[in-house]
Amino acid sequence: MFRRIEARVLNPLLGKQIEPPAYATDGSAAMDLRACIEEPVTLQPGGRTLVKTGIAINMMDPGLVAIVASRSGLSLKHGVRVAQGIGVIDADYHGEIGVILANDGQEPYVIQAGERIAQLMFQPVIQVALQYVDQFSTETERGEGGFGSTGKS
């Protein structure tokens, strides 16, 4: 069904006994990351905080990137999301994974130890060699149009 690749994981770095990331079902695209914290952290409305996960990964395939994404339920119910949209973990980063969370909700949100705070997904990477030119050789229907230039239909 899915291509399986190995990654080494150090868990837990902070000495907390939290569940390691795992796929909930055979069809899951991402694993849940959990808060590896000593005590609850209160995230105020409009606030941001770095939450440690207690794990580090060593990707066996340098052609991968790990993506940290928001959990949809946490975002919908409480307005808590990954602050920068997504987090990017390069294949050569071997430190502990931290998740920057933001609270867009109206109420403070208390993050509990072991709580599922984000999702971790692995994707292949293509590195592009940029070529600088004075102009492009072909025109397109869109040209330089952007931000709604193709209409609303």
Annotated binding-site ranges for substrate: 71-73, 84, 88-90
Binding positions are 71-73, 84, 88-90
Buried b (16+ CB within 10 A) or exposed e, 68-84: bbbbeebbeebbbbbbe
Q: Are 32 and 53 in contact (CB under 8 A)?
A: no
Q: Are 106 and 77 in contact (CB under 8 A)?
A: no
Q: Is 100 helix (H, G, I), strand (E, B) or coil?
A: strand
Q: Based on C-alpha coordinates, what's the Rg of the chain?
A: 19
CA nearest neighbour of 94 among 137, 121, 62, 118: 62
- Specify the DSSP class assigned to residue 144: T
- Distance (Å) of CA 128 to CA 101, 116, 131, 136: 30, 34, 9, 17
